[in-house]
Amino acid sequence: MPFFSIIIPTYNREKLIRKTIQTVLSQTFKDFEIIIIDDGSKDNTKGEIKLIESEKITYLKQQNSERAVARNEGTKIAKGTYITFLDSDDLFYHNHLQNAFDFIKLNNNPEILHTRYEIITPDGKIIEQKKWLDNNINKNLISGNFMSCNGVFLRKDIAMANQFNEDRTLSAMEDWELWLRIAAQYEIKYSNIISSAIVNHDLRSVVNTNKAELILRINSLLKYVLQNKTVVNYYKTEINKFKASCYTYMSLHLALTKKNRRDAIKYLLKGLANNGFVIFTKRFYAILKHLI
């Protein structure tokens, strides 16, 4: 049985996925399996994967159902003690699994671990190194999703009991919804060693969404989080920070389009109504910049 199962959901990533897989195969820690769930790709993603000869790889193709379903299907067949997720356009650095393994053993097999990561350009230039983590990680998560699937390690029993919400309208926010559910139940352990990267390219799904889809997505997120009594009871009065984050997220992305100024202002005001401290955030000033 491998110690880690790396689950890679993919859709039409023929030009990117081989590099992603190679960063896993190049790990210094070798006790792992790779489970690739192809979410109905129409390009040559399968052919690119088949060019890689490794017994560590399991490839399955499903009817297009979105990444939440793909990750859940991978979790069900995973054999590893711990499960982690890697998007098929992102990267592990060579020490990613070794660092996680060392931390897990040092901390008596925690339910969940999150490691820091950075955002890079396709040619490897660093855009941003994500915030330094501390003991407030559980509580701070209500204000915004700073956790990446690449950096999350879930013990198999926890992953099976806490799966991704498969509602397609939630797609691209299903990870934050899951992290909040888990944060309301378990202490999130953390490592501040940066050992993985999100690659910021023009085809990322989170930056290619229309107005209707964006509003539906955030409203779905609000619905699922606010109807979860465990989450609401855990965060109590802090839940307004979540609402404010959702509304300002919508405001920013609508402002970026330069076509939805009125709606951007509306959601900004809703965010401020829930948490006036929004005015001290970088997002607030980014919204103003794109509205002016």
3-state secondary structure of 223: helix
Mean pLDDT, residues 199-218 taken together:
80
Flag whether pLDDT at 213 surpasses 60: yes
What's the mean pLDDT when you consider all of the chain?
A: 96
**Model confidence over 94-110: pLDDT tens digits?**
999 999 999 999 999 99
- The DSSP annotation for 39-75 comes to -S--SSHHHHHHTS--TTEEEEE--S--HHHHHHHHH
Summarised one tens digit per residue, pLDDT across range 100-137 is: 999 999 999 999 999 999 999 999 999 999 989 999 99
Residue 256: in which H helix or E strand, if any? helix 239-257
Q: Is the pLDDT of residue 271 over 70?
A: yes
**Per-residue pLDDT at 28 exceeds 80:** yes
Q: Which domains does the chain have, with CATH numbers?
A: 4-203 (3.90.550.10), 209-291 (no CATH)
| Two tokens, residue 179 | 């992290």
Are 200 and 125 spatial neighbours (Cβ–Cβ below 8 Å)?
no
Task: List, for residues 49-64, the tens digit of each pLDDT value.
Answer: 999 999 999 999 999 9
DSSP helix/strand/coil, 225: helix
For the stretch 76-99, pLDDT in tens is: 999 999 999 999 999 999 999 999
DSSP sequence for 167-189: -GGGTTTHHHHHHHHHHTTS--E
Would you place residue 201 in the very low, low, confident or very high pLDDT band (cuts 50, 70, 90)? confident
Residue (of 4, 103, 31, 152) closest to 164 by Cα position:
152
Flag whether pLDDT at 207 surpasses 90. Answer: no
Q: Is the pLDDT of residue 179 over 80?
A: yes
Tell which residue, 210, 204, 179, has the closest CA to residue 120.
204
Contact call for residues 33 and 8 (beta carbons, < 8 A): no
CB atoms inside a 10 Å sphere around CB 162: 17
Here the tokens at position 83 are 């499960």
Structure tokens belonging to residue 94:
């060579």
Residue 110, classed as helix, strand or coil, is coil
| Confidence at 47, pLDDT banded by 50, 70, 90 | very high
- Residue 267 CB neighbour total at 10 angstroms: 24
